[in-house]
Amino acid sequence: MNKGFKDAVVYQIYPKSFMDANGDGMGDLQGVISRLDYLKELGIDVIWLNPCYKNSGVDGGYDISDYQAIAPELGTMEDFDELLAQAHSRGIRIVMDLVVNHTSTEHAWFVESRKSKDNPKRGFYVWRPPFEGKEPNQERSIFSGPAWEKDEATGEYYLHMFAKEQADLNWENEAVRREVYKMMRWWFDKGIDGFRMDVIDMISKPAAVLRADGGPHRSSAHGPREHEFLREMNREVLSHYDAFTVGESGSVSVTQALEYANLDGSELNMMFQFEHVEHDAGKDTKWSTGPMDLVKLKHIFERWQNGLHGRAWNSLYWDNHDQPRAVSHFGCDREEYRVRSAKMIAACLHMMEGTPYIYQGEELGMTNYPFTDISQSRDVEAINAWNELVVEQKKFTPEYMMACIRYKGRDNARTPMQWTAGENAGFTTGTPWMCVNPNHTAINAESQVGDPDSVFSFYQKLIRLRKTHPVIVHGDFTLLMPEDRQVFAYTRQYEGKTLLVACNFSCEDAALDELAETRGEMLAANYDEPGDKALLRPWEVRVTLV
């Protein structure tokens, strides 16, 4: 298991949208290599690379057809080896995405498995007979519609918790687990530094999900063998390497995370929990138009910070390839407040306990895209939801659903990285696979690197602070002004030092109470003038050390 995970800052790369080196309109591994110096300058330690394996093009690389081959549109295995060597020579570690809850239906295992009921690979997936001529049970796919798809070859159904092209692997089958561990060892032996584990809470399914009894839809996560499987994976693979690990779970609670991310090293280093990014979700679906609720958000962080302190470890993130842009979601992306609020939310997150993750473009204050029509969406989740909620069920009006997509859609995160003010934001010399945000003329890396007032420079500073002050890594957490609707303030304490972080999440001035009043040495701020110690200006942040 990895020992450096507590001090690390991670940068997430969605390779399709990061940098296109060969002009075909799609980002690629050579593109990533060409920007390693940029990342070095930012100061990050680890890159989490979204899937770059051979896939069937349905879910942004999360539909893998060969775990040991690179997607041809992203490059070759030689490119990957070069990326690994070049990153390592700069002291940057590479963490890969591990997607083993499901494979593409084009994966050789599934191609075999569907052939007949007695095929040797049949048991690699979850096959069930129909119940009264219909789906085995009423389980729903996270990407809309039933989670069961009938396969004509045998008349049975296979389980897919995501798109129907993503068939769930059967982890109850020991042969599946052996194959997965073998594949993981192959990547570690190549020299990679760890895995981000996609929907890892779903590898063990609750019994009801597996029964062909027509039963109702239930949660499909945290099945009875979840921790047994992870501890086995740890024994068989992770414990033999210096492995950095983070597991994704859309529904993990603080109590469950104490087990998944226990500091005893028996499972994973940390988990990605979703409570904060989904605190403003709709009633039955993730879709909503906001607004965010600061009081609710603060209490979520407080529970996670205090719940895991000294016993497990937090991951810290505002956004990723599945979330809207951080500044649009939690700050204010109107031009007058964009830079200021991007810095404020960055400091608010980076000063907490846990390992911070920066999603590509977040360090520039990149924003959501002004989507106006569903035809602009590339994301299977948004397109399926549109078909279900707007076209079939007429539950949402087209206008409301477009507003939801603008607020919450995953495509917001997947527009190309904005390198320059020039054509296609300097991302490609060809035709980009996905629309470039028109605001690249104002928001781009070229104009920010080297500008001391830029969002980029502020992120550099936050990363440096984490490396300089142990209180940022180890301190305990106390929430101040818990019920205040504008201010998010907290302290961290460690070995006689107190870090005081005060953030204004609003466009108006906000009063600080006595405990949150500014005092001590100013480590970071987003206004030049010091201001009144008991009053925060719009979107202001002050980080001080007492």
The entry of Ca ion, ligand GLC, none that residue 22 binds, CB within 5 to 8 Å by partner kind: Ca ion
The entry of ligand GLC, Ca ion, none that residue 20 binds, CB within 5 to 8 Å by partner kind: Ca ion
SS3 for 295? helix
| Choices 7-15, 23-31, 301-309, 519-527 (CB under 5 A): range interacting with Ca ion | 23-31
Q: Are 231 and 246 in contact (CB under 8 A)?
A: no
Query: Residue 317 or 458: which CB sits closer to ligand GLC?
Result: 317
Q: Which of 4, 6, 7, 22 binds Ca ion (CB under 5 A)?
A: 22
Q: What b/e readout covers 316-340, taking b as 16+ CB neighbours within 10 angstroms?
A: bbbbbbbbbbbbbbbbbbeeebbbb
Q: Is 322 in the site for ligand GLC (CB under 6 A)?
A: yes
The entry of ligand GLC, Ca ion, none that residue 459 binds, CB within 5 to 8 Å by partner kind: none
| Choices 13-21, 57-65, 324-332, 494-502 (CB under 6 A): range interacting with ligand GLC | 57-65
For 157-214, the three-class secondary structure string (H helix, E strand, C coil) is EEECCCCCCEEEECCCCHHHHHHHHHHHHHHHHHCCCEEEECCHHHCCCCHHHHCCCC
Q: Is 20 in the site for Ca ion (CB under 5 A)?
A: yes
Q: Are 433 and 25 in contact (CB under 8 A)?
A: yes
Q: Is 419 in the site for ligand GLC (CB under 6 A)?
A: no
Joined together, the tokens standing for residue 319 give 């956004």
How far, in Å, CA of 210 to CA of 452, rounded? Answer: 56
What string marks each residue from 247 to 276 as x (binds ligand GLC by CB under 6 A) or -? -x----------------------------
Binding positions for Ca ion, 27-56, rule CB under 5 A: 28
Q: Which of 24, 151, 236, 302 binds Ca ion (CB under 5 A)?
A: 24
Q: How far is the CB of 55 from Ca ion (least distance, A)?
A: 15
Binding positions for ligand GLC, 88-127, rule CB under 6 A: 99
The residue with its CB nearest to Ca ion is 28
Joined together, the tokens standing for residue 509 give 């001035």
Alpha helices, H only, 411-468: 411-414, 445-448, 455-468
Query: Residue 8 or 99: which CB sits closer to ligand GLC?
Result: 99
Main-chain phi, psi angles of 148, to 5 degrees? -120, 140
Query: Residue 124 or 162: which CB sits closer to ligand GLC?
Result: 162
| Choices 17-25, 174-182, 192-200, 240-248 (CB under 5 A): range interacting with Ca ion | 17-25
Is 248 marked active-site?
A: yes
Closest listed residue to residue 414, CA positions, set 451, 385, 380: 380
Query: Residue 50 or 328: which CB sits closer to Ca ion?
Result: 50
Query: Residue 22 or 262: which CB sits closer to Ca ion?
Result: 22
Query: Residue 143 or 244: which CB sits closer to ligand GLC?
Result: 143
What string marks each residue from 215 to 254 as x (binds ligand GLC by CB under 6 A) or -? ---------------------------------x------
Is 521 marked active-site?
A: no
| Choices 55-63, 74-82, 311-319, 510-518 (CB under 6 A): range interacting with ligand GLC | 55-63
Q: Is 26 in the site for Ca ion (CB under 5 A)?
A: yes
Q: Are 264 and 271 in contact (CB under 8 A)?
A: no
Q: Which of 59, 73, 165, 226 binds ligand GLC (CB under 6 A)?
A: 59
Q: How many chain residues touch Ca ion (CB under 5 A)?
A: 5
Q: Is 162 in the site for ligand GLC (CB under 6 A)?
A: yes
* Structure letter (DSSP) for residue 391: I
Q: Which of 33, 58, 199, 443 binds ligand GLC (CB under 6 A)?
A: 199
Q: Are 3 and 245 in contact (CB under 8 A)?
A: no
The entry of ligand GLC, Ca ion, none that residue 59 binds, CB within 5 to 8 Å by partner kind: ligand GLC
Given the residues 59, 63, 97, 198, the one annotated as active site? 198
Q: Which residues contact 473 (CB under 8 A, 6 or more apart)?
A: 6, 7, 353, 466
Q: Are 445 and 427 in contact (CB under 8 A)?
A: no
| Choices 19-27, 32-40, 56-64, 176-184 (CB under 6 A): range interacting with ligand GLC | 56-64
Joined together, the tokens standing for residue 193 give 């530094």
Joined together, the tokens standing for residue 290 give 């906001």
Query: Residue 26 or 543: which CB sits closer to Ca ion?
Result: 26
Q: Are 358 and 459 in contact (CB under 8 A)?
A: yes
The entry of Ca ion, ligand GLC, none that residue 272 binds, CB within 5 to 8 Å by partner kind: none
The entry of Ca ion, ligand GLC, none that residue 99 binds, CB within 5 to 8 Å by partner kind: ligand GLC
Q: Which residues contact 78 (CB under 8 A, 6 or more apart)?
A: none
Q: Are 308 and 275 in contact (CB under 8 A)?
A: no
Q: Is the dihedral of CA 336, 503, 12, 196 positive or negative?
A: negative
How far, in Å, CA of 268 to CA of 234, rounded? Answer: 8
Cite the beta strand spans of 348-472 per DSSP E.
Answer: 355-359
Q: How many chain residues touch ligand GLC (CB under 6 A)?
A: 10
The residues that touch ligand GLC, with contacts defined as CB under 6 A, are 59-60, 62, 99, 162, 198-199, 248, 321-322
Q: Which residues are known to be catalytic?
A: 198, 248
